[in-house]
Structure formats: C-alpha cells, structure tokens
Amino acid sequence: MSNPGDYFYGWDLLYKTIEKDINKKDDLLIALAHFVLSKYSQFRCIGLGEDKILTEDEEVSSSELLPDNWNVDENNYALRYIYDKQLYILLGFRTEDSLIITLLNVKTRKVSNICLSPDELVDDIRGSITKMIPSASQLVDRYRKELLEPVFQGQNKSTTTQTNTTSTATDQSDPLRIGMPARPPVGQYHPVGVEPRPFGFPEVGRGDLDPLARGGHGNLFPFPSHPEFRAGPGSSGGMQPRFDPYGPQPDRNVRPNPNPDHLQPPNFGGDYFM
C-alpha cells in the first residue's frame, strides 16, 4: 500500500463513533474489518446476529456504521451485511490467544476465515491507527486477500482482474478455428475478394485464375516468355491455348533405340513356369 494515509481516510470518523465502546484489542480488529468491508467494498451493515433471512426493511435500514451493542459479548461477534441484495455474515470467535474472523456469503455458502493474534498486532486501543496497529497496512491487505476475496466478487475483485480478462480475450466465434490465415508472401498478388490460403499453403493455380496480375501468369496460357508463344507473319500471335500432345513422340528421342524395355532379360527361357 503506497500511501496508508489515503487508504485510511475516513477511519478517524468511524473510530470517533465507537471509541467509547472499545475496551479490548479484539474490538479494534473487528472495527478495522468493518472499515475494510464498508469503505472499499461498499458493504452496508444491517444489524447483529446470525439470521440468514434478509427482509425488505433491513435493506432500507442499512448503514456504514457499526450498530449499537456490537461488542457486548466478550468472546463472540456477529454482524450482518448486505451488498447488491446479498447477505453476508461476519463472525468473530475468541480463543485462548487468537481471534478467528469468518465471513460467510449466505447465497453461495462460500466461507473464508483469518486467524489473528491481537496481542501481537495491537499495541494500544487509543490513538491514531498507526499507533494502535503499527502493521495496519499489511493487516488490511490480509483482510482483503484472505477474508474478502474468497467469498466476494464485487468492486475490488473486478478492478484487479479487468486487465487480465481483456488481454486474454480471444475470438470464440468458430470453435474449430486453429488460427488466423497466414499473410501472403511479400510481392504475391491476391485479387480483390479472394482470400489468401490459410496456414501458408502454396498458392497453386493462382496465376491461371488471374494471368494479368502482378504475381505472374500460370501455365494454362503461353506468354512472350514461353517457348510456345508464336508471333509474326503467318501466325495469329499473342496468347495461344497450350496443346499437350498425346501418343508417342519420336522427335523427342527420349530413349535411344532399341528400347531396353523391349529386350528379354538375360538367361530368359521359353518355359518360365518351370
């Protein structure tokens, strides 16, 4: 906590209203827990007890102050709070050397607790907050992390996780989508309205679909750079459809005669079944 004075702004006003009631160290720790709930989590106290039924009258009569007789019991505390029409119950139990504080969300039945040692934490029950509880800033952090956050999803929790949730948000429109299509290589042309092939697959046939594009022509039509491009007298010139001849092509002289495939293998006998 960078500036404890700013965080504890408003504590003096609360303390003045309950100063005459505080008579032991446990009271001061419960009052500080009430301060954290009411000031920074917008909880409102609606009275004493452990009743788990919330009435309309209690919603109207909620307050940020502690009710009368909140510490009349020497060993136990029971305060009821409301937030967003949900009921919370704060309980305190005194053991031999410790004070156990429990917070219950009645609707979700989530429970959190924190164990404190009043003799070690509280030096005095009169004076400023830093004089009474020297480690008040660290204690407030424990209240928020151990007591409040496990059962409460309100303002403090949402503001601390907002950045994480927005940074990890992804497109869930297509559950089968692996990733975004890879961008085309530099210099490769894609006609308007034609999406690039995803995941870096080669652009096979793109030049035949758009032979005049900047990416170059394909193999369907010969261009001036192609050997079969004919231009000049007696020729129609320009682009000509490519014709793939079929059948034997003796002029190509792929293999010299005789063709080795036409000769019998060595030691080939007439009766090859024997």
Note whether residue 239 is domain-resident.
no
Note whether residue 228 is domain-resident.
no
Residue 176's pLDDT is what?
A: 56
Contact yes or no for 99/92 (Cβ under 8 A) = yes
Closest CA to 20 of 160, 125, 165: 125
The three-state secondary structure class of 254 is: coil
Dihedrals φ, ψ of 109, to 5°? 65, 25
Q: State both tokens at 249.
A: 């092509």
Residues 6+ apart with CB under 8 A from 185: none
The pLDDT profile of the chain, 274 residues, written as one tens digit per residue, is: 545 567 898 999 999 999 999 999 999 999 999 999 998 889 999 999 999 998 888 878 889 999 999 999 989 999 999 998 899 999 999 998 899 999 999 999 999 999 999 999 999 999 999 999 999 999 999 999 999 999 987 654 333 333 344 444 444 555 555 555 555 555 555 555 555 655 555 666 666 666 666 556 666 665 666 555 555 555 555 555 655 666 666 555 555 555 556 666 666 665 555 5
DSSP output for 143-199: IIIIIITTT--SHHHHHHHHHHHHHT----S-TT--SPPPPPPTT----TT-PPPGG
Note whether residue 136 is domain-resident.
yes
Contact yes or no for 65/48 (Cβ under 8 A) = no
Domain that holds residue 135: 4-153
| DSSP, res 148 | I
| CA distance linking residue 194 with residue 77, whole number of Å | 71
Angle between helices 11-18 and 25-35 (to 10 degrees): 140
Q: Which residue is listed with tokens 């692996």? A: 178
Instruction: Measure Cα distances from 76 to 26, 41, 110, 258 in Å.
Output: 10, 24, 21, 111
Q: What residues does 90 pair with on adjacent strands?
A: 79, 103
Note whether residue 201 is domain-resident.
no
Note whether residue 54 is domain-resident.
yes
| CA distance linking residue 196 with residue 272, whole number of Å | 59
pLDDT tens, 176-212? Answer: 555 555 555 555 555 555 556 555 556 666 666 666 6
Note whether residue 121 is domain-resident.
yes
- Total structural domains within the chain: 1
| CA distance linking residue 104 with residue 85, whole number of Å | 14
Closest CA to 224 of 239, 214, 234, 209: 239
Note whether residue 271 is domain-resident.
no
pLDDT tens, 185-194? Answer: 555 555 555 5
Q: What residues does 86 pair with on adjacent strands?
A: 83
Contact yes or no for 223/229 (Cβ under 8 A) = yes
Q: What pTM value is reported for the model?
A: 0.56
CA dihedral 141, 143, 145, 148 (to 10 degrees): -140
Domain with residue 146: its CATH number is 3.40.1000.30
